[in-house]
């Protein structure tokens, strides 16, 4: 039986780890580069966010400053766009791109964008399943030596983990759409032009790769769990 971290199936997650490390390094390097290039209008991330929200009729959405770097987010429960240290008061191209992306999420909620509604709807279930899946799978492997229903326990845990994979896949169109909305908004409002717009696009494209890496990692982990389960049945 293949059991533990050091089995042949571990090779499946190595590409996922490498991809994730590359994506994280890519977004950090790209953002760092364009956080040093100021936009011609001198607009800060907070000012850009306010303009985008107001022009989309979202004056009820607040903007606040939070600590950290690239911790920017939109919380639909409080209707707040939170911008990090590197975004809120910065007038860099990178800051404008990130701020516009988060406003893109606010617009998605306001317009009833289907993928984000689906993601919102399944989140409580996914959160519950993700907390239980690995412990259940581990218990199943421990009980495998005793036979009986152990394989069924493993299968149940894998089924629960599928919810995590589904969530990561649904997240992809949500994030790509928010970036596309951001770039179109920045161009149509003449907030960024020419090379500035290209820089913002590179920042958002790099950020999108982190979500692709997360989805790829979830898929490869699922495949690994399935293979380990099958191997345990043969032994």
- Which pLDDT score, from 0 to 100, does residue 147 have? 61
Q: How high is the mean pLDDT of the chain?
A: 91
pLDDT 10s digits, 138-169: 888 888 766 656 678 889 999 999 999 999 99
pLDDT 10s digits, 94-106: 999 999 999 999 9
- Which pLDDT score, from 0 to 100, does residue 5 have? 44
Q: Is 4 left (phi over 0), alpha (psi -120 to 50) or beta?
A: left
- Which pLDDT score, from 0 to 100, does residue 151 have? 78
Is a pLDDT exceeding 60 seen at residue 13?
A: yes
Is a pLDDT exceeding 50 seen at residue 16?
A: yes
pLDDT band at 1 (very low <50, low <70, confident <90, very high): very low
- State the Cα torsion 96-98-100-103 to the nearest 10°: -140
Catalytic residues: 102
76 vs 94: CA distance, rounded Å = 23
- The predicted model gives 72-76 an average pLDDT of 94
2 vs 10: CA distance, rounded Å = 10
With pLDDT > 70 as the criterion, what percentage of the chain qualifies? 93
- Which pLDDT score, from 0 to 100, does residue 234 have? 61
pLDDT band at 91 (very low <50, low <70, confident <90, very high): very high
- Which pLDDT score, from 0 to 100, does residue 2 have? 44
- Which pLDDT score, from 0 to 100, does residue 152 have? 84
Tell me the three-class secondary structure of the chain, residue by residue: CCCCCCCHHHHHHHHHHHHHHHHHHHHHHHHHHHCCCECCCCCCHHHHHHHHHHHCCCCCCEEEECCCCCCCEEECCCCEEEECCCCCCCCEHHHHHHHHHHHHHHHHHHHCCHHHHHHHHHHHHHHHHHHHHHHHHHHHHHHHHHCCCHHHHHHHHHHHHHHHHHHHHHHHHHHHHHHHHHHHHHHHCCCCCCHHHHHHHHHHHHHHHHHHHHHHHHHHHHHHHHHHHHHHHHC
């Amino acid at each position: 039986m293949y059991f533990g971290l050091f089995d042949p199936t571990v090779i499946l997650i190595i590409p996922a780890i490498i991809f994730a490390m590359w994506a994280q390094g890519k977004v950090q390097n790209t953002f760092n580069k364009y956080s040093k290039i100021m936009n011609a209008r001198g607009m800060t991330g907070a000012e850009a966010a306010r303009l985008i929200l107001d022009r989309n009729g979202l004056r009820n959405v607040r903007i606040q400053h939070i600590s950290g770097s690239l911790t920017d987010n939109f919380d639909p429960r409080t209707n707040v766009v939170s911008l990090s240290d590197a975004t809120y008061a910065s007038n860099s191209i990178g800051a404008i791109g990130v701020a516009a992306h988060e406003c893109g999420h606010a617009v998605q909620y306001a317009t009833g964008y289907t993928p984000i509604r689906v993601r919102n709807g399944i989140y409580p279930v996914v959160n519950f399943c993700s907390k239980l899946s690995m412990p259940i799978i581990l218990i199943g492997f421990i009980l495998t030596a005793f036979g009986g229903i152990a394989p069924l326990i493993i299968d149940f845990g894998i089924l629960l983990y599928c919810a995590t994979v589904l969530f990561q896949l649904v997240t992809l169109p949500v994030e790509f759409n928010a970036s596309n909305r951001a770039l179109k908004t920045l161009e149509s409002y003449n907030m960024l032009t020419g090379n500035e717009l290209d820089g913002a696009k590179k920042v958002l494209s790099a950020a999108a790769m982190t979500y692709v890496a997360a989805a790829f990692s979830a898929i490869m982990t699922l495949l690994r769990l399935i293979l380990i389960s099958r191997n345990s049945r043969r032994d």
